[in-house]
Amino acid sequence: MFRKVLIANRGEIAVRIIRTLREMGIATVAVYSDADREALHVRLADEAVHIGPPAPRESYLCIDKILGAAKRTGAEAIHPGYGFLSENAGFSAACAEAGVVFIGPPASAIEAMGSKTAARERMIAAGVPVVPGGNADTVEEALTTARRIGFPVMVKAAMGGGGKGMRLCMHEEDLERAVERARSEAQKAFGDGKVYLEKAILKPRHVEVQVLGDKHGNVVHLFERDCSIQRRHQKVVEETPCPAASDELVREMGEVAVRAAKAVDYCSAGTIEFLLDQDGGFYFLEMNTRLQVEHPITEWVTGLDLVREMVRVAWGEPLGYGQEQVTRRGAAIEVRVYAEDPATGFLPSPGKVTTLVTPNGPFLRDDGGVYAGAEVSSYYDPLISKLSVWAPTRALAVERMRRALGEYVVSGIRTNLPFHERLFRHAAFVEGRYHTGFIDEHKRALLRGEDEAPADEAALAIALAVAVSRKQKRVEPIAENSSGTSPWLAQHRARLLR
């Protein structure tokens, strides 16, 4: 097994990888920019190497500096985490050239799935269902494609992901502007302004299937995750099982996902993403050739450590189990705790974390990357942590998450914790009735609590008392929905502001 591994990342994912490597008896090397000198991942690693200024292109995205750090420290392998260089085929190839093992898929698989347009063609050839679509290299070509597949359409960046370079276009007269805006955003985000069109599936669910393959041709799926609660096409809540998927549908999606992975000779952990329509039809969206942010909920229900499995596969070990040996139990939910303000459209809220109290209790996990006194930098994604829970049933998991959120305290910066608390009391979410447009559909209730009016005069009096307390003590109470909850609980959940 490897003796030393470098983690080419930062924040919570670097911390999470370090912990598994330590359990495996593998020495760890962190890398850090000027902005991350005091970061948690730097403190936890056995060694740390400075790689440059805060800007990612001068540090975490600089292949030469990452490989130089590996060479200086004698690291035999590199784990890229997610984001940054994790889906960069050139980085995977450069690692191979330098004699360093890339803990992830081969460059050929990353390249095959890196371009969404090329991936669509490959998936069609493999018999994987895809959303009807086509090219949009020019405005005229985009118009031809849109007329063929029918409006509404989604304009999408051919490279990259994370909701960048995406525009929904409902009418023909708006297409040119949508294409131009998507191209501009894609160019800035990925250095490639190429876009394409897909038929827009209205009110779909975003359901993904975790796959895991080894270097011996074995591939299994680890069931599905529902990632439909999104803002700006970026996930904020994930759960498994999907509330809308039957066992038969999950089995079918899993088989298709394995077929898709085998079509590119995939090994390591990866994710096949689908759109699930309201009639139960599903369509290939893209493949993420890396570890996903939301992998903890799959670990909760399967009992597998995905980072450990990635390391084993990279070392050359076979999976050691087939699809029939992979089982799951119970339900798991994850929320992403961000330094951002939901009331202002989820704008980032960087700054110093002055207080941080994370929840505890049975079947609860907080994958964090900051500590009290740490800075949430404006240079990087403002993720504070990923809070996840497990329970025998979805209903119990929702209750457990609700309790955990009530114990989570962060001060010094604004966070999306109030949003999560409202979400987990929203009747439609609690019943599992949601889709990718759920947040936009319930903006007033979820972002500002404006629909959550007191039910009677007694409740009104309580609300006024809390409002006065809020003004005097500068605290932000978490609004409850109209179903009503204990005023003492509402008071307990007050959050300090800057």
- 327 Cβ contact partners less than 8 Å away, ≥ 6 residues apart: 302
Interior angle at CA 90, CA 84 and CA 91, nearest 5:
50
Side-chain half-sphere CA neighbours of 134 within 13 A: 13
Of the listed 120, 205, 225, 290, which one is catalytic? 290
d(CA 190, CA 210): 25
Judge whether 290 counts as a catalytic residue.
yes
DSSP state of 352: E
Q: Write out the two tokens for 282.
A: 């599903």
The strand pair at 340-341 and 331-338 is best described as unpaired
Dihedral sign (CA 127, 130, 133, 135): negative
**What is the residue type of 393?**
T
Side-chain half-sphere CA neighbours of 55 within 13 A: 2
d(CA 94, CA 91): 5
- 363 Cβ contact partners less than 8 Å away, ≥ 6 residues apart: 300, 389, 390, 391, 400
Interior angle at CA 82, CA 360 and CA 443, nearest 5:
65
Q: Write out the two tokens for 168.
A: 């929904």
Q: How would you class 464 by CB atoms within 10 Å of its CB: exposed for 0-12, middle for 13-18, buried for 19 or more?
A: exposed
- 395 Cβ contact partners less than 8 Å away, ≥ 6 residues apart: none
d(CA 185, CA 157): 9
State how far the alpha carbon of 172 is from the alpha carbons of 140, 185, 194, 199, 285, in Å.
Answer: 12, 21, 20, 13, 23
User: Residue 274: phi, psi to the nearest 5?
Assistant: -125, 155
Q: Write out the two tokens for 440.
A: 């936009």
| CB distance 56 to 379 below 8 Å | yes
Which residues are annotated as catalytic? 290
